[in-house]
Structure 1
Amino acid sequence: MSSTWEWLFRVRHALDTGSPFRSRRRRPSLADAVAGRVVLVTGASSGIGRAAALELGAAGATVLLVARRAPELQEVAATVTARGGTAAVYPCDLSDLDAVAATTAQVLADHGRVDILVNNAGRSIRRSLEQSYDRIHDFERTMQLNYIAAVRLLLAFLPGMRERRFGQVVNVLSLANLTGGPGYGAYVASKAALDEVSRSFQAETLDENIRFTSVYMPLVRTEMITPNERYAKTAALTAAQGGRVICDAIVDRPRRVAPLIGRLVGLVDAVNLAPADAGRNQRFTAGI
């Protein structure tokens, strides 16, 4: 199943970024896209962020690693360096806006710019509506990390991208943003907010060679899903495959990257929402 997801992602890349004759031309490599660039990856201490950072460093990017856990970031940086790349570590609790402001200021002081921002860090909470009546803080803390912190990074680095007339923002969202995520209301809403603000910003910056890429990531076997036993046997991408999706998005700079199933559900939603809602309700009541 994982290989099927990967194939669907590659088909989507082709549809989003090229003409029917694209295969006749040499596809740019990751090194073509990032050599000499400064790439900041949040959530870089493990999982998808770590995997992407290792590939980016090996391809010639200066990789800026951001996450809470300094020891893990140091390990990732050491691995990047051992493979001939360049990495810098910026421990930061992204839920603390003062810490985010200090980190962005330090990044700009150290490197002068960020060419590509990967908003990968995220918090996921599975909790039904019935279980959420007295837990507004779940929504607040999820929005704080998944949306507000990401916007703070955008506001810090977009001015330089616009001045240089080059930049890319890769937002790691969820397939549930297209298919629906019953039981994950706080998580899906926070990712949807980031998607929508990026759509607005894209409209203002498209002619400045700034690209916002929404990656609607399916399930990836990382620490985030480990506590949920229901996912133990569910088909999922590996962290390395998730990292590769991000790297491919940087190469191709598509507006959106999503498995075909997500696009199909989105089409059904647009044409007739009632059966799609019914299907989501059936999934939830069946515990799927």
Structure 2
Amino acid sequence: MYRLIETILFFQKNINKNKLHTALTGKSILITGASSGIGEQVAYQLADIPCQLILVARRGERLAEIKEKIEPKGAKVTFFQGDLRDEAEMKRFLTFLHDLPTDLDFVVNNAGLSIKRSLYESFDRYHDFTRTMAINYFAPVQLLLSLIPVLEKQRGHIINVSTVNALLAPVPYFSAYQASKSAFDVWLRSAQPELKSQGISVTSIYLPLVRTPMIEPTAAYRNIPAMISSDAARIICKSMYTKKKRYQPWWLIFGQLVSIFLTSFWDMSKNNRRK
């Protein structure tokens, strides 16, 4: 029954391999957060295409393992070990990208950090907010500001791996995560008309909960339906040839209505307790 619910909520996306192959042959694709989860699965989906994959993440040994698995299949892999929250490492990474022999055609912004914590447990944890904003907002903004001229030249494509939370009413315990993901989502949607006018495509992928290593520390996630990371990767890869502006689950409109109701209910219950 549990698996049936997941199947209904998270329809598997089929990829037209011929279209994907045609769209990506000879292209260079940057994937951030590529050492596990969704980013790793995107790399595997593209493994048999003669393209250049540029992978970045904090765990260099995992990136080396992924490179070893992929290159016998056809794609070429270059990787950079670094923490994009660190200003010095970001500068090194941007130098690395601009020194590559080929220009970038696709940027998959996938790296991210999620934190679930009550505000009342955060009074001495301001760093939770700074480190979440650092990777979910400041890092992709800095990355794209540097790469937009290259993407304009290549008529490239930016794919942002966002979350349905960016389109739902805010909920308790996720203030750091929702604020940071929403910040970049708004930034990119604001920039999109300017980018489109210069030939750069933009796709926002609003994913539901995805079963990745990022959610493992949160016990509450272990027994609720979640999309598997390979299905999320197929959605991202399909957008590479369809170039649709956005993906969101079919049920999100109902989720938006429910989230507004629950927020109102939360506020009313709080007010009643004060009386």
- The secondary structure found in structure 2 opposite 1:125 is coil
In 2, Cα distance between the equivalents of 1:32 and 1:5? 30
Gaps of 5+ in 2: 269-275
Q: 1:178 to 1:274 in 2, by over 3 A?
A: closer
Contact 2:84–2:90 (Cα < 8 Å) also in 1? yes
Aligned twin of 2:165 = 176
Contact 1:42–1:66 (Cα < 8 Å) also in 2? yes
Aligned twin of 2:76 = 86
1:100-111 pair list within 5 angstroms? 100-111=90-101
Q: 1:279 to 1:253 in 2, by over 3 A?
A: farther
- The secondary structure found in structure 2 opposite 1:29 is helix
Aligned twin of 2:88 = 98
Gaps of 5+ in 1: 14-25, 283-288
Aligned CA-pair RMSD = 2.4
Aligned twin of 1:278 = 264
Contact 2:13–2:234 (Cα < 8 Å) also in 1? no
- Structure 1 counterpart of 2:8, which letter? T
Q: Deviations over 1:34-65 (max 9, x none)?
A: 11110000110011000001112323321101
Aligned twin of 1:119 = 109
In 1, Cα distance between the equivalents of 2:165 and 2:17? 30
Q: Deviations over 1:95-147 (max 9, x none)?
A: 11221121121122123421110110111110122222332221111000111
Contact 1:92–1:99 (Cα < 8 Å) also in 2? yes
Aligned twin of 1:4 = 8
Contact 2:166–2:185 (Cα < 8 Å) also in 1? no
Aligned length in residues = 263
Q: 1:276 to 1:207 in 2, by over 3 A?
A: farther
Contact 2:31–2:107 (Cα < 8 Å) also in 1? yes
Report the TM-score when normalising by structure 2: 0.87
Aligned twin of 1:34 = 24
In 2, Cα distance between the equivalents of 1:237 and 1:60? 28
Report the TM-score when normalising by structure 1: 0.84
Shift of 1:261: 2.4
Q: 1:45 to 1:27 in 2, by over 3 A?
A: closer
Shift of 1:277: 2.2
Q: Matched residues, percent identical?
A: 33
Contact 1:42–1:65 (Cα < 8 Å) also in 2? yes
